Amino acid sequence: MCAIAGIFNSRGGRDIDRDALGRMNEIQKHRGPDDQGYHVEPGIGLGHRRLSIIDLKTGHQPLYNEDRSVCVVFNGEIYNYQELIPELVALGHRFRTRSDTEVIVHAWEAWGESCVARFRGMFAFALWDRTKETLFLARDRLGVKPLYYAVLADGNLIFGSELKALLAHGSLPKDIDPPAIDEYFALGYVPEPRTIFRSALKLLPLTR
């Protein structure tokens, strides 16, 4: 179990609040007590808490492609990553680690958004492509790994593996969503994409 968190500014690449990002990441420490890492540049900040399972020595995140133009933070496991490595190497990509995480950045370079169709596993990840100025968020098909997000009034998109990561940012409106209360008492849980807060949503699993 690991955790990811992030802040993306949709209004012209303003500086990211590093303190807020740190709070969002730190509150998820119980999900990843072994390591932490950050990537921050104008307009985007990514955080990661790691529980070391695969590639204990070189699997630190965020993880980058060869020229550091693509960056990913990842929670989960891609079961078929070893099958994808030879295909990506044949396309000219160079691997520096033995982690399943590195497959994500090279698969993005090779296949774009359709890369997720090649992955078998349970995962939630956030990928930043500086060249395309694109933030890409994805969850596995069964929705095993969670990912919450909210768009704030200042234009920032915030996200995290747990809802309390969004609360730790400090600017999430805390208005309760009444239909979510009804669903909780009727079903025993709040179906996605809804959450207990009106302003926060849960990213839907892949549908392809």
* Structural domains in the chain, sorted by start: 3-172 (3.60.20.10)
Residue 205: name the closest of 103, 98, 116 by CA. Answer: 116
pLDDT per residue, tens digit, the chain (208 aa), is 799 999 999 887 789 999 999 999 999 999 988 889 999 999 999 999 987 665 556 568 999 999 999 999 999 999 999 999 999 999 999 999 888 999 999 999 999 999 999 999 999 999 999 999 999 999 999 999 999 999 999 999 999 999 999 999 999 999 999 999 999 999 999 999 999 999 999 999 987 6
* 8 Å CB contact between 75 and 62: no
Residue 71 among the catalytic residues? no
- pLDDT at res. 208: 63
Catalytically annotated residue among 1, 2, 112, 156: 2
Amino acid identity at 166: L
Q: What is the C-alpha separation between 106 and 94, in angstroms, rounded?
A: 9
The pairs formed by 165-170 with CB atoms below 8 angstroms and a separation of 24 or more are: 165/3, 165/5, 165/24, 165/25, 165/27, 165/28, 166/24, 166/200, 168/20, 168/23, 168/24, 168/26, 168/27, 169/7, 169/20, 169/23, 169/24, 170/20, 170/23
SS3 206: coil
* 8 Å CB contact between 49 and 32: yes
Token pair 């955080």 in the structure block, residue: 47
Helix residue spans in 63-199 (DSSP H): 81-90, 100-111, 163-169, 178-187
Helix residue spans in the chain (DSSP H): 18-26, 81-90, 100-111, 163-169, 178-187
- pLDDT at res. 49: 94
Q: What is the C-alpha separation between 138 and 124, in angstroms, rounded?
A: 6
SS3 161: coil
Residue 206: name the closest of 149, 126, 151, 137 by CA. Answer: 137
Two tokens, residue 181: 């209360």
Residue 49: name the closest of 118, 124, 106 by CA. Answer: 124
